[in-house]
């Protein structure tokens, strides 16, 4: 399933390529291929291109939005990150395929999630974040 069809973003701001697995109402596994032609890598350390860490967090957020869209488990409309704790283990480089594994925590108030971004099973980022409905 193509993520772009479900998210309200347009390229280049769609940071999830595909949904791999939807596990119940509380977990999603999605994927993004990092390529050297990605807009964000142009000029970002030209001799040693790395994918910006903030965009990895945005990929986790978009994965959570896909979880909400596919399971109708959140209020309709846009959501934003209200609080975030993240640990970055290593940078992403062109050619990496990052897997986003996001899980909604049961028993927690609000939209509390944990997320893991990994390349070939090795952690790149681990995060815990709370989301809320965006006021427009």
Residues forming the active site = 44
Query: Is cis: bond before 12, omega within 30 of 0?
Result: yes
Matching residue, tokens 């790149």: 124
| CB count in 10 Å sphere of residue 113 | 25
Extended beta strands in 44-133, E state: 79-88, 97-104, 111-119, 122-133
């Amino acid at each position: 399933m193509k993520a772009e069809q479900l998210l309200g973003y347009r390229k280049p701001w769609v940071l999830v390529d595909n949904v791999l697995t939807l596990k119940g109402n509380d977990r999603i596994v999605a994927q993004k291929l990092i390529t050297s032609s990605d807009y964000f890598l142009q000029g970002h350390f030209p001799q040693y291109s790395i994918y910006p860490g903030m965009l990895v967090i945005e990929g986790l957020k978009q994965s959570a939005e896909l979880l909400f869209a596919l399971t109708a488990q959140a209020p309709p409309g846009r959501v934003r990150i209200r609080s975030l704790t993240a640990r970055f283990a290593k940078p992403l480089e062109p050619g990496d395929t990052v897997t986003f594994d996001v899980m909604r925590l049961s028993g927690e108030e609000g939209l509390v999630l944990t997320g893991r971004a990994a390349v070939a099973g090795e952690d790149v980022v681990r995060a815990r974040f709370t989301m809320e409905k965006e006021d427009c």
